[in-house]
């Protein structure tokens, strides 16, 4: 990946005459983590899936490192893009090691290299390789499964990682642990990543920059503090105020019950 | 009640078991080769899914016996189509049974393939695409392994169904464990029925168990179990299928056995054995008997040349083959039938055997005497309070309509049942009257009275020996041997032979050979 990172230009997806995503243009720099936030139906997941062509756009284009994402077969493109999503989707008939090794195997890596890489990744997501390598997904907790999901996405050293509400289905404590772990990992590996969530707190904690979507349209892109200080739209302002609003409400309730 | 002769039934078991396994294994193998790819393909093309599954379901709803029987005229028709190309199609025997069983095995495998693949978690499917698998890799590495237990379950269902249904292939001339069951039911040989059923059930369970063991080995990654179970399964299948390959080679070289057919009742079995024994004695040609053929199956097979000879009845041929409704006197009917069969189908009436086997209304002597009934017309005042039993065909046949119409009889109930049960029913007083067969040995044994057809409604049913087209020219010694049987069996003889098998439980072949020995001591005893 060059410094040009990821570029979305007028990206549009129409289904049945309705635009799910409407002319979205934005750039993600190399090594940057961009979070797409928005309510359900805002088009954030569709936007993400058009990047690795799980959904084909009806107009506009995606460039990765300056190269259009539709100039090669979709399956080859996807091998170069890590992908993590909410339901994890581990292959239930494969062991943890085999799940992590899926993309390297598809790419034809040598067996020794794959073995070493699997152990390295399991350690990276804080799963002790010797204990977890041979387990089946059904034997793991939800948090452990998603750690394996992240390891699988990173296995082939992709220049770009897409995450679709990866921690949405986890309990709050596990979610917090994984958010921290992933944040550290992303900074350490300088991952270029697009992260979809509807949780503004998560967005603020993880994002270099945040893109806010509503009804398929991009409202504003910027750092969390930029969005907070100079919102381009009342909805952006309302959205960015939610963490604080919630914190105040909580303080009142907790304080009130104590008094 | 039938005497249990397990030993005799067991002695017939090995070749029938092997034939049964051959048939079922071949059908399952081909069925699997069709159903699994077809199922996978259908999941790739959602528009085809519904029609494919519908077709398989429709096949499944056809009763097994009917599906088998329908293959025979179908193959005769195909045979006629391809005959100009010099290709021969065997309309009875292995081929129709194999085709029907293959079709029958499709549904469970097809449906489970579709269900298994569609049952894969959409999240897992999206993950497969997301990590960069091609459609093919997604199918082979994710969908099929995950669907495997469902696929195997389909195979197991198909295995049990096919092994079970293979017992029904006897009527289309394919030997199977059904031979024991059908012949046993006809001759009331309970041992044969039990041995046949037990063997079929055991075979189904063993095959099912082995397939299951392979599955367990695969899913639990236990190589030992997989190898042992797969080896046992392959050995079993190879043992069954190899002789098949050898046989088809051998068949091409060696002389084809002279093949006789029998419809599914005792008299027909005896007559087939009689013809076979006679031909063996006179020509030493190898012979073969296909027992329990459906009525039209036997005729179609003879026309197509798969059977060399069988015995049919003039009244039956007149109505069901020649589709004639006019009534002729006995001898005229015989002449006209022979002319028509020769002219229209090339089938030769070698000659009448010397007896008639007609439907005849029968009552117990005691009841008939009490009511003073001797002739069918005497029934008129009593019919409304009488229940009549008959075989599966009787109440649909034109002569039954003629009897009711001409004599003005309206019975309180008409109950169709298996012929052997029919005699038990009248003996037990469960029906008042039955449509008996005039040569049945049980008429005398059960003290039944045959009512006189005083208005001559029931057409003549002379037993005639039919030879396939060109038999006389191609195998003259066989033809001559069969010709010697003409006019040799009168009504009383046939009744005695039937009784020997039905009531005294002598094997049909033994009864037939005993008759031939006697007859050769006293040639031409029975004059027509």
pLDDT on residue B244 = 60
Model pLDDT, residue B163: 94
Whether the predicted pLDDT of B144 surpasses 90: yes
Tokens coding A176? 């917090």
* Model confidence pLDDT, tens digit, residues B299-323: 888 888 888 999 999 988 988 889 8
Q: Is residue B527 predicted with pLDDT exceeding 50?
A: no
Q: What is the rounded distance in angstroms from the CA atom of residue A45 to the CA atom of residue B57? A: 41
Mean pLDDT of chain A: 91
In DSSP terms, A162 is beta-bridged to A83, A194
Query: Which of these, A50, A56, A57, lies nearest to A6 by C-alpha position?
Result: A50
Give residue for tokens 């191609």: B474
Tell me the pLDDT band of B329, cut-offs 50, 70 and 90.
confident
Q: Which residues, in sequence order, are bridge partners of residue A213?
A: A218
CA distance to partner chain B, nearest, from residue A78 (Å)? 5
Rounded CA separation A166/A205 (Å): 15
The pLDDT, as a whole number, for residue A2 is 46
CB distance A78–B131 less than 8 Å? yes
Section B441-445 average pLDDT: 85
Closest-CA residue of A relative to B122 is A89
In Å, how far are A76, B83, B130, B276, B370 from A57, measured between CA atoms? 18, 59, 16, 78, 94
At B223, the pLDDT band (50, 70, 90 cuts) reads: confident
Q: How far is A59 from chain B (nearest CA, A)?
A: 22
Q: How many residues does chain B have?
A: 528
Higher pLDDT, B294 or B380: B380
d(CA B291, CA B280): 18
Confidence of residue B528 (pLDDT cuts 50, 70, 90): very low
Instruction: Name which of B123, B128, B129 is nearest A87 (Cβ-Cβ).
Output: B123
Per-residue DSSP letter, B417 = -
How do residues B68-99 score in pLDDT, each as one tens digit?
Answer: 888 888 888 888 888 777 777 777 788 889 99
B132 in reach of chain A (CB within 8 A): yes
Mean of pLDDT over chain B: 86
Q: Are A181 and A154 in contact (CB under 8 A)?
A: no
Q: What is the least distance, in Å, from the CA of B130 to any CA of chain A?
A: 6
Assess B142–A contact: CB distance below 8 Å, yes or no.
yes
**pLDDT for the residue B521:** 65
Residue A106 with chain B: CB contacts under 8 Å: 131-133, 137
CB distance B134 to B140 below 8 Å = no
ipTM: 0.89
Distances (CA, A) of B246 to B15, B177, B238: 15, 21, 12
Neighbours of B361 (CB within 10 A): 24
Phi/psi for A258 (5° steps) reads: -80, -30
* Spatial CA neighbour of B75 closest among B94, B56, B62: B94
pLDDT of residue B492: 86
Considering only CB atoms, which chain B residues are within 8 Å of A52?
A: 130
- Mean pLDDT value across residues B192-209: 92
Calculate mean pLDDT across residues B283-308.
84
Residue B1 pLDDT exceeds 80: no
Run of H or E residues at B166: none
Selected residue of B130, B139, B149, B152 to mutate for chain A interface (largest A Cβ count, 10 A): B130
With CB atoms and an 8 Å threshold, state whether B123 touches A93: no
Q: How far apart are CA A57 and CA A73, in angstroms?
A: 15
Q: B140 and chain A: CB distance < 8 Å anywhere?
A: no
Other beta carbons within 10 angstroms of residue B446's beta carbon come to: 18
Measured between CA atoms, the residue of chain B closest to residue A49 is B130
Report the distance separating Cα B155 and Cα B150, nearest Å.
Answer: 9
Test A93 with B128 for CB contact under 8 angstroms: no
Q: In B254-397, where does DSSP find H-type helix?
A: 266-283, 295-304, 314-316, 330-345, 365-371
Residues B391 and B419: beta-carbon distance below 8 Å: yes
The helix (run of H) or strand (run of E) holding residue B307 is none
Q: Is B427 on the interface with A (CB under 8 A)?
A: no
CA–CA gap between residue A81 and residue B409 (Å, rounded): 87
Predicted confidence band at B233 (pLDDT cuts at 50, 70, 90)? confident
Residue A57 Cα, gap to closest chain B Cα (Å): 16
Residue in chain B nearest A78 by alpha carbon? B132
At B465, phi and psi to the nearest 5?
Answer: -90, 120
Work out the number of other CB atoms within 10 angstroms of the CB of residue B373: 21
**Average pLDDT of span B174-188:** 82
- Contact by Cβ (8 Å): B353, B465: yes
Task: Please give the average per-residue pLDDT across A100-121, as a whole number.
Answer: 94
Q: What is the pLDDT of residues B247-267, one digit of tens each?
A: 555 554 446 789 999 988 889
Consecutive H or E run containing B309:
strand B309-313
Measured in angstroms, the CA of A163 and the nearest CA of chain B are apart by 11
Average pLDDT for A82-95: 92
- Of the pLDDT bands very low, low, confident and very high (cuts 50, 70, 90), residue A259 is very low
CA distance B225 to chain A (A): 19
Task: Name which of A150-159, B118-127, B241-250 the model is least confident about.
Answer: B241-250
Say yes or no to pLDDT of B183 above 90.
no
Asked if the model's pLDDT at residue B526 lies above 80, the reply is: no
Whether B120 has a pLDDT exceeding 50, the answer reads yes
Instruction: Give φ, ψ of B489 to 5 degrees.
Output: -125, 115
Q: Does B129 touch chain A (CB under 8 A)?
A: yes
Q: How far lies B15's CA from each of B20, B178, B409, in Å?
A: 8, 12, 50
The mean pLDDT of B5-34, rounded to a whole number, is: 86
Q: Do B127 and A85 touch (CB under 8 A)?
A: yes
Burial zone of B413 (CB within 10 Å; 0-12 exposed, 13-18 middle, 19+ buried):
exposed
The pair of structure tokens assigned to A23 is: 């002319």
Specify the higher pLDDT residue, B195 or B396. B195
DSSP states of B433-464:
EEEEETT-THHHHTTEEEPB-TT--SPP-EEE
**DSSP letter string over chain A?**
--TT-EEEEEEEEEETTEEEEEEEEEEE-TT-EEEEE--TTSSHHHHHHHHTTSS--SEEEEEETTEETTSS-HHHHHHTEEEEETT----TTS-HHHHHTHHHHHTT--HHHHHHHHHHHHHHTT--HHHHTT--GGGS-HHHHHHHHHHHHHTT--SEEEEESTTTTS-HHHHHHHHHHHHHHHHHHT--EEEEES-HHHHHHH-SEEEEEETTEEEEEE-HHHHHHS-SSHHHHHHHHHHHHHHHHHHHHHHHHH-
Name every chain B residue with its beta carbon within 8 A of the beta carbon of A154: none
Q: Hey, is B389 helix, strand or coil?
A: strand
Strand order in the sheet with B448-450: B413-416, B387-390, B433-437, B359-364, B448-450
Q: Could you tell me what percent of chain B has a pLDDT over 90?
A: 37
B134 touches A at CB < 8 Å: yes
Asked if B127 and A54 come within 8 Å (Cβ–Cβ), the reply is no
Helix (H) or strand (E) holding B467: strand B462-467
Please give the distance of CA B284 from its chain centroid, rounded to a whole number.
Answer: 27
Residue B67: per-residue pLDDT: 85
For the full predicted model, state whether its pTM sits above 0.90.
Answer: no
**CA-based nearest residue in chain A for residue B134:** A75
Given pLDDT bands bounded at 50, 70 and 90, which one contains residue B8? Answer: confident
Candidates B126, B127, B134; nearest CB to A75: B134
Residues 6+ apart with CB under 8 A from B25: B236, B237, B240, B241
Q: Which two tokens stand for residue B454?
A: 């005083």
Q: How far apart are CA B341 and CA B121, in angstroms?
A: 64
Helix (H, G, I), strand (E, B) or coil at B293: coil
Distance from CA of A75 to the nearest CA of B (A): 4
Q: What are the helix (H) ranges across B45-143? A: 46-61, 64-82, 94-118, 122-130, 135-137
C-beta atoms of A83 and B137 within 8 A: no
Q: Does B149 touch chain A (CB under 8 A)?
A: no
């Amino acid at each position: 990946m060059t410094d040009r990172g990821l570029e979305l230009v007028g990206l549009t997806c129409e289904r049945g005459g309705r635009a799910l995503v409407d002319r979205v243009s934005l750039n993600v720099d190399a090594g940057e983590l961009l979070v797409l936030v928005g309510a359900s139906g805002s088009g954030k997941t569709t936007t993400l899936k058009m990047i690795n062509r799980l959904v084909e756009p009806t107009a506009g284009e995606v460039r990765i490192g300056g190269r259009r994402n539709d100039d090669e077969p979709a399956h080859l493109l996807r091998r170069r893009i890590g992908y993590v999503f909410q339901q994890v989707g581990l292959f239930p008939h494969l062991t943890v090691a085999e799940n992590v090794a899926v993309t390297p195997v598809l790419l034809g890596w040598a067996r020794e290299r794959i073995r070493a890489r699997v152990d390295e990744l399991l350690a990276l997501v804080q799963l002790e390789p010797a204990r977890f390598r041979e387990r089946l997904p059904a034997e793991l907790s939800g948090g452990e499964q998603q750690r394996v999901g992240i390891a699988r996405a990173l296995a082939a050293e992709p220049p770009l990682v897409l995450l679709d509400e990866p921690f949405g289905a986890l309990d709050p404590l596990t979610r917090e642990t994984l958010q921290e772990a992933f944040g550290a990992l992303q900074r350490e590996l300088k991952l270029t990543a697009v992260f979809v969530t509807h949780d503004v707190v998560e967005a603020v904690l993880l994002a270099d920059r945040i893109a806010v979507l509503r009804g398929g349209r991009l409202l504003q892109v910027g750092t969390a503090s930029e969005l907070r200080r100079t919102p381009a739209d009342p909805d952006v302002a309302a959205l960015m105020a939610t963490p604080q609003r919630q914190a105040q409400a909580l303080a009142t309730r907790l304080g009130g019950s104590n008094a | 009640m039938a005497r249990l002769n397990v030993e005799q039934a067991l002695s017939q078991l090995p070749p029938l078991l092997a034939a049964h396994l051959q048939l079922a294994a071949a059908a399952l193998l081909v069925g699997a080769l069709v159903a699994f790819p077809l199922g996978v393909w259908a999941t790739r093309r959602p528009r085809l899914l519904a029609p494919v599954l519908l077709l398989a379901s429709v096949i499944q709803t056809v009763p097994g016996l009917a599906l088998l029987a329908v293959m025979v005229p179908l193959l005769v028709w195909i045979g006629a189509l391809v005959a100009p190309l010099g290709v021969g199609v065997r309309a009875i025997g292995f081929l129709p049974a194999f085709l029907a069983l293959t079709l029958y095995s499709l549904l469970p495998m097809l449906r489970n393939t579709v269900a298994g693949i569609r049952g894969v978690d959409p999240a897992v499917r999206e993950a497969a695409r997301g990590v960069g698998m091609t459609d093919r890799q997604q199918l082979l590495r994710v969908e099929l392994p995950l669907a495997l237990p469902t696929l195997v379950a389909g195979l197991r269902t198909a295995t049990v169904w096919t092994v079970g249904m293979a017992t029904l292939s006897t009527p289309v001339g394919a030997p199977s464990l059904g031979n024991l069951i059908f012949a046993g039911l006809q001759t009331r040989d309970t041992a044969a029925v039990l041995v046949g059923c037990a063997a079929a059930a055991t075979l189904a369970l063993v095959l099912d168990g082995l397939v299951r063991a392979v599955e367990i080995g695969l899913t639990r990654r236990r190589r030992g179990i997989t190898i042992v179970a797969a080896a046992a399964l392959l050995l079993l299948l190879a043992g069954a299928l190899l002789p098949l390959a050898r046989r088809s080679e051998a068949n091409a070289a060696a002389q084809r056995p002279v093949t006789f057919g029998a419809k599914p009742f005792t008299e027909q079995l005896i007559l087939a054995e009689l013809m076979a024994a006679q031909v063996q004695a006179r020509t030493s040609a190898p012979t073969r008997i296909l027992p329990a053929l459906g009525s039209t199956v036997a005729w179609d097979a003879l026309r197509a040349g798969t059977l060399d000879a069988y015995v049919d009845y003039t009244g039956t041929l007149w109505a069901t083959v020649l589709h004639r409704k006019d009534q002729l006197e006995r001898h005229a009917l015989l002449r006209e039938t022979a002319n028509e069969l020769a002219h229209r189908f090339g089938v030769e009436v070698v000659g009448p055997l010397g007896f008639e086997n007609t439907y005849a209304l029968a009552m117990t002597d005691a009841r008939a005497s009490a009511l003073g009934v001797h002739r069918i017309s005497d029934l008129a005042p009593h019919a409304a309070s009488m229940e009549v039993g008959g075989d599966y065909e009787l109440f649909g046949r034109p002569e039954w309509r003629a009897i009711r119409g001409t004599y003005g009889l309206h019975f309180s109930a008409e109950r169709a049942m298996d012929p052997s049960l029919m005699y038990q029913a009248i003996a037990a007083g469960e029906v008042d009257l039955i449509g008996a067969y005039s040569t049945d040995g049980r008429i005398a044994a059960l003290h039944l009275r045959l009512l006189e057809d005083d208005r001559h409604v029931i057409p003549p049913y002379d037993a005639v020996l039919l030879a396939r087209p060109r038999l006389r020219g191609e195998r003259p010694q066989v033809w001559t041997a069969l010709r010697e049987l003409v006019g040799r069996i009168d009504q009383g003889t046939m009744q005695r032979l039937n009784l020997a098998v039905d009531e005294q439980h002598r094997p049909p072949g033994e009864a037939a050979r005993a008759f031939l020995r006697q007859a050769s001591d006293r040639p031409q005893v029975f004059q027509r």
